[in-house]
Amino acid sequence: MREFSTPALTVPPTTGGLADSVFATALAQPDLAALSRRTEDGGWQTVTAAEFRDEVVAIAKGLLHQGVRFGDRVALMSRTRYEWTVLDYALWTIGAQPVPVYPTSSAEQVRWILADSQAVACVVEHEDHAMTVGSVVEGLPQLRSIWQLDSGALRALALAGRGVPDELVERHRQAVTPQSTATVIYTSGTTGRPKGCVLSHANFFAETDNVVERYHDVFTNKASEQPATLLFLPLAHVFGRMVQVAALRAGVRLAHEPSLAPSDLMPALQSMQPTFVLAVPYIFEKLMQRAREAAEEAGKLGPFDKAVDAAVRYAAAVERHAFGDGPGPSAAQRLQHQVYDRLVYSKVRAVLGGRVRHAMSGGSAMNRELGLFFAGAGITVYEGYGLTECTAAATANPPDRPRFGTVGHPVPGTTVRIADDGEVWIHGGQVFQGYLGDPEASGLTLHQGWLATGDLGHLDEDGYLSITGRKKEIIVTSSGKSVAPAVLEDRVRAHPLVAHCMLVGDNRPYIGALLILDADALLRWQRKRGKPEHSAATAARQDADLKVDLQRAVAMANTAVSRAESIRSFRVLAGEFTEDRGLLTPSLKIRRRAVLKAYAGDIDALYTPAGASS
């Protein structure tokens, strides 16, 4: 199949902007629990719809008093937190344009984004961010103000705006139209200098309203509970912004958690008790890994692995039945599933707070078996696919018939086309307006309303999309063999010891792999076997059993491809791939160019007899 469309489920608004939903909800349901805000003692304070509207208006007045005007751009450099959402909606209320900046950005990246966007002000989270902006401010003559959240920026803005009349705020809000620019989000820069994606209010309407309608059971109030989600994705990333907008438009209670570290995230999930979560595959992989480790420490690894296998087989039987291929789980499978649900699956759900039944995953590919396990454990993970340029999701697995291992159907109102060279093209109301100040790049990406994604993929006979790699990431060996790395990398990374896998081999005789091991998993592996507690690189050189385990992981991955495409050697690297080192994007994707440069010597060693498979 070369093209597949899903009809829109909503009529796009013809007037107004994103802030209008805050005012409409406050008028219709003033006491609705719109948000939960973290308190100093670690608890959660309810913020009603009316209270949130009043805070948005107060900050909007403060921004106007400080000289921010309709169409101005204001940078936001912070982790995910309640104040970001207030600022987003305050800026949208007066027709200004928030410009997210990742909190881990270097001074040069900050300088580029502030200069390219012509931001007139910048909100930072803490003093370190303020110093970063301050170090480049001399080259930014248009930047007039810097506000720091941890120094009471919102309080100061609210006080400054007390004399601004409500009518002035309302006139600004009424001037916003769906075609007005809502935000400029810069790409992560994995393939070069970040480009500013111009997204309109209409883009967010098309995306969020259709997603909310399609996933009605996820976003809609039940008789006994209000839907709620904990947002821990970076709000500097389009996926996080889409979640924020969808939640507030749908009346979902929204809370924030700035840290992705399991030691912070898991307690927040358990205390907030969301009904659904949105994450990247890394989070689900870590959750699975933590559950397996807990079982191993309790001496129950064997039963746990049997429970995992039972969940996968149960969910696969349900999936086959949904597509008219089989009767569904057998009576024996259903009975086994009930037993394991009480003993194992309920404990997995409890880690997420106990109420989660749905989840959405994006950013990179999720292993099919992982998706089946969570479905069998009572949490259906709807894997999707999208880019900043299409306001997050372009495709997602439908709630009634998910096909695990794919990224699903086009979201309602969207068409997906596979070009002659295998590139995925997207058409729909969520496709962006172009790159800020870069008509040449916009022209290369937009073709009469179609977004050329740069990703390679295929549609199956039922219209489900699978992503096979990126055009710019295709590896061409010296023999001329073209290899898309994603399939092999995902399979190797599924091994509990492997945190990251990156394939190399451009202009080389065969494909090699760079491995980063999970330090905690390696330590447990060593202790369980009574091994010396060496670092990953040292252990890989000295421990024959570790080499065998890793070689098995590579061999299993190689079963998915031909010999010419297979991994012929691998090397365990010292150190980690982190944002701070510039080797990962904030959405946890590998910066391939940076890794190639940082580990050039290790890559050369892959192609010498002494350096391979170590």
Q: How many helices (H) and strands (E) does the chain have?
A: 23, 26
Find the Cα–Cα–Cα–Cα dihedral 432, 436, 441, 443, rounded to 10°.
Answer: 60
The mean pLDDT value for 3-28 works out to 97
> Residue 150 phi/psi, 5° resolution?
-75, -5
State the pLDDT confidence band at 536, using cuts at 50, 70 and 90: confident
pLDDT for 174 = 97
CB 395 within 8 A of CB 384: yes
pLDDT for 114 = 97
Question: Cα(393)–Cα(465) distance, rounded to whole angstroms?
Answer: 12
CB 163 within 8 A of CB 154: no
Question: Structure tokens of 276?
Answer: 């659904």
Question: Going by DSSP bridges, is the β-strand pair 392-396/409-410 parallel, antiparallel, or unpaired?
Answer: antiparallel
State the pLDDT confidence band at 418, using cuts at 50, 70 and 90: very high
CATH of domain 474-606: 3.30.300.30
Question: Going by DSSP bridges, is the β-strand pair 414-418/3-6 parallel, antiparallel, or unpaired?
Answer: antiparallel
Question: Structure tokens of 339?
Answer: 């037993």
**pLDDT digits 0-9 by tens, 345-354:** 999 999 999 9
Look at 29-38, 70-79, 98-107, 416-425 and tell me which has the smallest mean pLDDT. Answer: 98-107
**pLDDT digits 0-9 by tens, 144-188:** 999 999 999 999 999 999 999 999 999 999 999 999 999 999 986
Question: Cα(324)–Cα(321) distance, rounded to whole angstroms?
Answer: 5
Give the end-to-end CA distance of the chain in Å, rounded to a whole number.
43
Tell which residue, 103, 162, 163, has the closest CA to residue 129.
Answer: 103
Tell which residue, 378, 398, 397, 405, has the closest CA to residue 276.
Answer: 378
Question: Cα(506)–Cα(508) distance, rounded to whole angstroms?
Answer: 5
Largest Cα separation within the chain, whole Å, is: 75
How many C-alpha atoms does 220 have within 13 Å on its Cβ side?
9
On the question of pLDDT at 189 being above 60, the answer is: no
**In the block, residue with structure tokens 């004399």:** 163
On the question of pLDDT at 250 being above 80, the answer is: yes
Question: Cα(226)–Cα(257) distance, rounded to whole angstroms?
Answer: 19
Q: Domain 18-176+226-274 belongs to what topology?
A: Rossmann fold (3.40.50)
pLDDT for 281 = 87
The mean pLDDT value for 21-33 works out to 97
DSSP string, 336-401: HHHHHIIIIIHHHHHHTTS---EEEE-SS---HHHHHHHHHTT-EEEEEEEEGGGTEEEEE--SSS
pLDDT for 586 = 74
On the question of pLDDT at 614 being above 90, the answer is: no
State the pLDDT confidence band at 191, using cuts at 50, 70 and 90: very low
Question: Cα(129)–Cα(151) distance, rounded to whole angstroms?
Answer: 12
Question: Structure tokens of 526?
Answer: 């060593």
Portions of the chain given CATH number 3.40.50.12780:
18-176+226-274, 278-471
What percent of the chain stands above pLDDT 90?
A: 76
Tell which residue, 583, 599, 593, has the closest CA to residue 514.
Answer: 599
pLDDT for 222 = 73
**pTM of the predicted model as reported, rounded to 2 decimal places:** 0.85
State the pLDDT confidence band at 537, using cuts at 50, 70 and 90: confident
Question: Going by DSSP bridges, is the β-strand pair 498-504/511-517 parallel, antiparallel, or unpaired?
Answer: antiparallel
The mean pLDDT value for 186-202 works out to 82
pLDDT for 399 = 94
Question: Cα(284)–Cα(260) distance, rounded to whole angstroms?
Answer: 12
CB 381 within 8 A of CB 375: yes
Considering 161-165, 438-442, 452-456, 586-590, the range whose residues carry the highest mean pLDDT is 161-165
How many C-alpha atoms does 491 have within 13 Å on its Cβ side?
21
Portions of the chain given CATH number 3.30.300.30:
474-606
Helix (H) or strand (E) holding 489: helix 486-493
Look at 83-92, 105-114, 214-223, 253-262 and tell me which has the smallest mean pLDDT. Answer: 214-223
> Residue 194 phi/psi, 5° resolution?
-60, 140
Give the neighbor-by-neighbor strand order of the sheet with 511-517.
498-504, 511-517, 567-572
CB 456 within 8 A of CB 466: no
pLDDT for 413 = 98
How many C-alpha atoms does 102 have within 13 Å on its Cβ side?
24
Q: How many residues does the chain have?
A: 614
**Which CATH number does the domain 278-471 belong to among 3.40.50.12780, 3.40.50.410, 3.30.2350.10, 3.40.50.300?**
3.40.50.12780
Tell which residue, 382, 424, 385, 444, has the closest CA to residue 3.
Answer: 424
